[in-house]
Amino acid sequence: MNKNIKVAHNLFVLFAFGLFLTSCVGGQTGRNNSGQYKNGMVVSAHPEASKVGLDILKKGGNAIDAAVAVQFALAVVYPDAGNIGGGGFLAYRSAKGEISTLDFREKAPGNASRDMYLDAAGNAITEKSIYGHLAAGVPGSVDGMVKAHAKYGKLSWAEVVQPALNLAQNGFSITESQAQEFAAMQKSIKKYNPGKSYFIKDKWTKGELWVQKDLAKTLQLIRDNGRDGFYAGEVADLIVAEMKKGGGLISKEDLKNYQAQWRDPLVGNYKDFKIITMPPPSSGGIALLQLLNSVEAYPLKRYGFNSDSTIQLLVEAERRVYADRATHLGDPDFYKVPQKQLIDPKYSVERMANFNWNKATLSSDIKAGEIIAESEETTHFSIVDRQGNAVAVTTTLNGGYGSMVFVNGAGFLLNNEMDDFSVKPGTPNMFGLLGGEANAIQPGKRMLSSMTPTILEKNGDLFMVVGTPGGSTIITSVFQTILNVIEFDMGMQSAVNAKRFHHQWLPEEVVVEKGGVDSLARLKLENKGYKFRERKAIGRVDAILKTKWGYFEGGADPRGDDTKLGW
C-alpha cells in the first residue's frame, strides 16, 4: 500500500469502528453521540414530571400513557400551571398517521352570565375575573385524561395515576426557582385562602421535600374511581363547599355535566410540511395556520433569522392575524367560527396585500378581515414513544397559580380561566387581548384560548411535536420555533433557545426578549415606525424533532426548569 492509500485505509477502519461503537451505544440505550434518542422522549416543564413520563415509556406504556402520567405529575410538582383544577388541549398522531385532538378546556358554570364581571355602571371589574372563586371555570383536565386514556392508553389507569400520587404522598425536592417563586407567591395565596394552612409558609428552600397529603388523597380517589373520583363524591363536595365560601359559581350539576370533547384536528400545509393543530375553542391552531400562510411566499431563509426584514414581515402577519382573533374566534359550540375561510391560504395572502416594506402599518388601520358569512403560566409537554406515536399537550390554570384559590381539603388550585372570555367588548383581558361577541360569556360555553399543541409531518412521517405556555404569545412562539427549524436550519434545542418577539395587533408594539433584535435591525425598524418594548422571557417551548436518521432530538426551554429525557 502506498502511503496515501494506507492513511485512507486507516481512516476508513477508524470510521467503521466509530460507527460500530455508535450503534452499540444506540443498541443498549437508544442514545446516539449527539444526545438524540431512538426509543422515545419526554420534554416537560419539570424534571420530576419528565422522569415520570420516561419511566412510563420504559415500562411499556405508550405516548398517551406517558402524557396522562405527566399531566397528573405536573399537577403535583408544578402547581403554577400543572393542574387537575384547570384544563387544556391535546394533539395526537399515531405512528400509523391517525390524528386526533382532544378539548378538555374549562367551561363557564351554568350560573355564569354575560355581564357577571361588570359593576352597576357597566365597567369591567377585571380583578374578579382574574382572582378568587368567581374567576374559576369548570375544570376539564381529569375528564380529558380519562378520555385520552380510554381511547388510546395501554397500561391500566391506576398505573398512570400512581406516579403522581407517589410524588404527592412521599414528596419531591423543589427546585431553586420554585423556592423563590413559592416564597414570592405567599402574599396572594394568603389573601385568597384565609384560614387555610396549605401551601402557606414564608420560607422555602431549594431541595426541601414538599409533601401534599390532601392532594395525595384526591389523586387516590381519581386513581380508584376515574372521573367520579373528581366530578362526584368527596372531591365534588369539597369544590362546591369552597365555591360557597368564596362566592364562586361551580355547582354539583356543572361538575357532573362536564365532558371533554374529541374534535376534528385542524390540518394545513407549509411548504413540504403538514401541520396538525388545535381547532377552536383554541384560537391557536387557526392563528398558526394563518401566520404560516401569510409568510409562505416570502424568502425567509434569505432574509435570515431575526433580521429586520424577517421581524417586519412576521410582525405584520401577526398584527393582522390577532385582529381576526379578536373578532372571529370563540367556542364553536356557541358561535359559528368562519374556520374554513380563515385558514384558506388565499385569505392570508389578501390580508398581507396592504403591507408596505417602507413603513409600519398602523393597527388602527387594521380591522378583522371581512368574512363571507405577565404572568402567563400555562405549561406544555411533548412526548414520543418507541413506536413513534406522538402527543402534544398544553394545559393551564390560566394565570400562574390560577385563581389562587385552593380547594380546602382537596389540595389543588382552581383555575382563573373565566378571564379568557371577553368580559366586556373593548376591555383587554390579562394578556391584553380583546374580544367581542364570539367570545362573550354564556353558561356552559368554553372561553377562547391561545394554546397551540401542534404536530408536524414531513413526507407522511412524524417531524416535530411542539407547543408552549405564554398566554397571547403562545401562537407567535410556536410559529417562530417552527420557522427556526424549517427556514433557519436550526436543530430543536437551538430553535427553542432562540430569542423571540411578539406582536398581537393591540397594543401597538413589538415586544422582544432582551437581546433578541440587534441594534441596527431595531434602528431600521424604528425608523419605519415600529415601537419596541423589551421584556423578559417569552414562552417556554418544549419540543421534539424527529431527525432524518429516525432519532428524537429534544428542545427543553432553558427559560425554566424544563427537562428533556429520552432512552
Task: Give me the active site residues, please.
Answer: 378
Q: Is 454 in the site for ligand GLY (CB under 6 A)?
A: no
Closest contact distance (angstroms) between CB of 312 and ligand GLY is: 26
Out of 396, 422, 484, 504, the residue judged to bind ligand GLY by CB under 6 A? 396
- Which of these ranges, 177-185, 211-219, 354-362, 445-453, lies near ligand GLY under the rule CB under 6 A? 445-453
Q: Residue 30 or residue 471: which is nearer to ligand GLY going by CB?
A: 471
Q: Which residues pair with 87 in a beta bridge?
A: 396
466, containing H or E segment: strand 461-466
Closest contact distance (angstroms) between CB of 378 and ligand GLY is: 5
x/- map, 263-282, ligand GLY, by CB under 6 A = --------------------
The answer, yes or no, to whether the previous bond of 507 is cis (omega within 30 of 0) is yes
Closest contact distance (angstroms) between CB of 446 and ligand GLY is: 10
Closest contact distance (angstroms) between CB of 401 and ligand GLY is: 13
- Contacts with ligand GLY by CB under 6 A: the residue count is 8
In angstroms, how far apart are the furthest CA atoms of the chain? 96
Task: Using DSSP, state whether 511 is helix, strand or coil.
Answer: strand
Rounded Cα distance, 551 and 546, in Å = 6
Rounded Cα distance, 161 and 156, in Å = 9
Out of 168, 292, 451, 485, the residue judged to bind ligand GLY by CB under 6 A? 451
Q: Residue 129 or residue 378: which is nearer to ligand GLY going by CB?
A: 378
- Of the candidates 472, 493, 471, 469, the residue with the CA atom closest to the CA atom of residue 481: 493
- Who contacts 191 (Cβ-Cβ below 8 Å, separation ≥6)? 404
* DSSP letter, residue 417: G
Q: Is 379 in the site for ligand GLY (CB under 6 A)?
A: no
- Which of these ranges, 48-56, 66-74, 180-188, 447-455, lies near ligand GLY under the rule CB under 6 A? 447-455
Grid look-up 374549562 returns: 106
Q: Residue 144 or residue 471: which is nearer to ligand GLY going by CB?
A: 471
Q: Judging by DSSP bridges, how do beta strands 41-44 and 563-566 pair with one another?
A: antiparallel
- Of the candidates 413, 158, 104, the residue with the CA atom closest to the CA atom of residue 281: 104
8 A C-beta contact, residue 413 and residue 401:
yes
Rounded Cα distance, 337 and 422, in Å = 16
Q: Is 450 in the site for ligand GLY (CB under 6 A)?
A: yes
C-alpha 423 chain-centroid distance: 23
Out of 141, 175, 348, 398, the residue judged to bind ligand GLY by CB under 6 A? 398
Rounded Cα distance, 526 and 513, in Å = 16
Strand segments, DSSP code E, in 482-546 are 501-502, 510-513, 532-535, 542-546
Q: Residue 396 or residue 484: which is nearer to ligand GLY going by CB?
A: 396
Q: Residue 217 or residue 325: which is nearer to ligand GLY going by CB?
A: 325
Cell numbers that stand for 339 in this block? 374556520
Q: Residue 339 or residue 398: which is nearer to ligand GLY going by CB?
A: 398
Identify the burial level of 290 via C-beta atoms within 10 angstroms of its C-beta, where 0-12 means exposed, 13-18 middle and 19 or more buried. buried
For residue 476, which phi and psi values (nearest 5 degrees)? -70, -30
Q: Residue 260 or residue 451: which is nearer to ligand GLY going by CB?
A: 451
Strand segments, DSSP code E, in 10-122 are 41-44, 87-93, 99-104
Q: Is 420 in the site for ligand GLY (CB under 6 A)?
A: yes
8 A C-beta contact, residue 92 and residue 390:
yes
Out of 449, 454, 473, 504, the residue judged to bind ligand GLY by CB under 6 A? 449
Computed on alpha carbons and rounded to an integer, the radius of gyration of the chain in Å comes to 24
Closest contact distance (angstroms) between CB of 399 and ligand GLY is: 8
Q: Residue 310 or residue 398: which is nearer to ligand GLY going by CB?
A: 398
- Which of these ranges, 118-126, 202-210, 303-311, 446-454, lies near ligand GLY under the rule CB under 6 A? 446-454
- Which of these ranges, 327-335, 448-456, 481-489, 496-504, lies near ligand GLY under the rule CB under 6 A? 448-456
Q: Is 45 in the site for ligand GLY (CB under 6 A)?
A: no
Closest contact distance (angstroms) between CB of 340 and ligand GLY is: 23
464-493 binders of ligand GLY (CB under 6 A): 471
Closest contact distance (angstroms) between CB of 166 and ligand GLY is: 29
Closest contact distance (angstroms) between CB of 296 and ligand GLY is: 25
Rounded Cα distance, 103 and 87, in Å = 8
Which residues of this protein are in contact with ligand GLY, per CB under 6 A? Answer: 378, 396, 398, 420, 449-451, 471
